[in-house]
Amino acid sequence: MHRGFAVRMTMQCSFAVYWLCGAVLWAAPTGAAKTQPAAAQDVVVLSNGDTLHGKLVGESGGKISFHSEVLGDLTIPWGKIKELHAEGTYAVFGDNNKPRNERQLGKIPVGSVDATGETVTVRGPAAAAAPIAVKEAGYIVEETTLHKELGKHSGPLAGWSGAATGGATLVTATQNQYTFSGAVALARTMPEVSWLDTRNKTLIGFSGSFGKITQPAYTMPATATTPATLVPSTSTKTAIYHADAERDEYFSPRFFALGQTTFDHNFSQDLDLQQIYGGGLGWTALKTAKQEADLKGTVQYEKQEFISGATGTNQDLVGSTFSGNYALHLKMVTYTQSVAFIPAYNNARAYSTTETNTFAFPAYKNFSFSLGTLDSYLNDPPVSLPPTKRNSFQFTMGLTYAIKAR
């Protein structure tokens, strides 16, 4: 009895092991399934014969961006490339045929890319019939990235970049002095990438400087001929504020229509508030990776109000603003300049000019040390005592923080 029971148990265990092994073999992948084919990698052959495997990120400014699993992110000039083979789907275009919207994508070749140091060939249903010269293929961009940038509509708080600057001076001596200055300049450009033409741009700026010099009252001692005299306390104030906003809408890569408004207060020039509302045209005269220059002209309404409030000094004007903006970006310094001439057509004497210059030197991460000047000229301040100078000049030093778009 015990022997039969043992035999049955042995047979049952044998069948259990059999079925367990069969289930494992059935569930296990076949040898062909175990070996998954490796994903195709893009290939770059350098002029010295070295070969890189990885992923083509794109091309801009005559340089290929390539990600190698071994070496990481690389930037390679066309002159050092012998061959390039990329199996993804890329759009290839130059400065003369940049798409401005998704409807224009059908006009540019899209497909896989084969290239040498001289030509680029696109393989795909919309590919060019002949190879494209490297100098005409200024941009190679993944098709999905291009669709995303052309169709992007960011929220009102997205895409802003610029800088914020602050500085202060405090002096305690016979006279007490303090001065605070600051500025914020923000810009939002759409699309946000540099390899597409600008559709629109929004600019917002503010700068201000406020200071005061005070001297306490004191008594001038008596002399043999004069009694003691109380000299009252004195206070001298400076206050200069400027705010502006501008919206540019581009109808070609270099020409745009604009609307703008500006507000100015200058205590030293007896100017309580000058406000301007206008619109006009602009032209990007120079645009490279390091430099940009814009020229603008507007027709506007202008209102001037003065602190003294003398009869006949406040006035409504019809005029223009003719301005130029220049920016130079170098490794060790960023220089910006803005010049504006503001005439009035219904009062030839009521014109003004402004000029600002700023140098920013990198210091630490997003911080830089800045030097700046602001020179303004107001031709028609009201007559006052002491006489109001027409020209106002200020020099500022401060620490600048770069605000970068996300």
| pLDDT tens column, 217-230 | 888 898 888 898 99
Q: What is the pLDDT of residue 158?
A: 78
Residue 224, SS3 per DSSP: coil
At 255, the pLDDT band (50, 70, 90 cuts) reads very high
Q: What is the pLDDT of residue 100?
A: 83
Q: Which comes out higher in pLDDT, residue 169 or 75?
A: 75
User: What average pLDDT does range 232-240 have in this prediction?
Assistant: 89
2 domain residue, yes or no: no
User: What range defines the domain where residue 334 resides?
Assistant: 160-403
Q: What is the pLDDT of residue 13?
A: 43
Residues 274 and 399 in one domain: yes
11 domain residue, yes or no: no
**d(C-alpha 111, C-alpha 268), whole Å:** 64
Question: Mean pLDDT in the chain?
Answer: 86
User: What average pLDDT does range 104-130 have in this prediction?
Assistant: 82
Number of domains within the chain:
2
Please name which of 317, 309, 318 lies closest in space to residue 383, comparing C-alpha atoms: 309
Q: Which comes out higher in pLDDT, residue 148 or 272?
A: 272
Return the bridge partners of 368, or none: 362, 400
Q: Is the pLDDT of residue 58 over 90?
A: yes
User: What average pLDDT does range 144-161 have in this prediction?
Assistant: 81
Element (H, E) at 213: strand 200-215
Residues 276 and 354 in one domain: yes
**d(C-alpha 367, C-alpha 360), whole Å:** 9
User: What average pLDDT does range 300-320 have in this prediction?
Assistant: 88
| pLDDT tens column, 319-340 | 999 999 999 999 999 999 999 9
Q: Is the pLDDT of residue 26 over 70?
A: no
59 domain residue, yes or no: yes
User: What average pLDDT does range 239-265 have in this prediction?
Assistant: 96
Q: What is the pLDDT of residue 30?
A: 46
| pLDDT tens column, 179-230 | 999 999 999 998 888 888 899 999 999 999 999 999 888 888 988 888 989 9
Q: Which residues of 279-314 are buried (b: 16+ CB within 10 A; e: fewer)?
A: ebebebeeeeeeebbbebebebebebebbeeeeebe
At 159, the pLDDT band (50, 70, 90 cuts) reads confident
**d(C-alpha 375, C-alpha 167), whole Å:** 18
As a whole-number percent, the residues of the chain with pLDDT over 70 amount to: 88
Residues 141 and 166 in one domain: no
User: What average pLDDT does range 44-48 have in this prediction?
Assistant: 94
User: What average pLDDT does range 71-98 have in this prediction?
Assistant: 91
Residues 171 and 122 in one domain: no
Q: Is the pLDDT of residue 32 over 80?
A: no
Residues 121 and 169 in one domain: no
Residues 311 and 359 in one domain: yes
Residues 351 and 283 in one domain: yes
Query: 331 with 353: CB under 8 angstroms?
Result: no
At 352, the pLDDT band (50, 70, 90 cuts) reads very high
**d(C-alpha 142, C-alpha 113), whole Å:** 11
Q: What is the pTM of this model?
A: 0.78
Q: What is the pLDDT of residue 299?
A: 98
Q: What is the pLDDT of residue 154?
A: 67
Q: Which comes out higher in pLDDT, residue 316 or 387?
A: 316
362 domain residue, yes or no: yes
Of 150, 171, 201, the domain-final residue: 150
Own/partner long-range contacts of 48-54 (Cβ < 8 Å, ≥24 apart): 48/80, 49/82
Of 122, 150, 178, the domain-final residue: 150
At 288, the pLDDT band (50, 70, 90 cuts) reads confident
Q: Which comes out higher in pLDDT, residue 72 or 129?
A: 72
Of 86, 120, 150, the domain-final residue: 150
Q: What is the pLDDT of residue 281?
A: 98
Residue 343, domain CATH: 2.40.160.40
Q: Is the pLDDT of residue 359 over 90?
A: yes
305 domain residue, yes or no: yes
User: What average pLDDT does range 14-31 have in this prediction?
Assistant: 43
DSSP states along 41-65? -EEEEETTS-EEEEEEEEEETTEEE
**d(C-alpha 147, C-alpha 90), whole Å:** 11
Q: Is the pLDDT of residue 28 over 50?
A: no
Question: CA neighbours within 13 Å on the CB side: how many for 370?
Answer: 28
Q: Is the pLDDT of residue 153 over 80?
A: no
Please name which of 170, 148, 145, 185 lies closest in space to residue 372, comparing C-alpha atoms: 185
At 259, the pLDDT band (50, 70, 90 cuts) reads very high
10 domain residue, yes or no: no
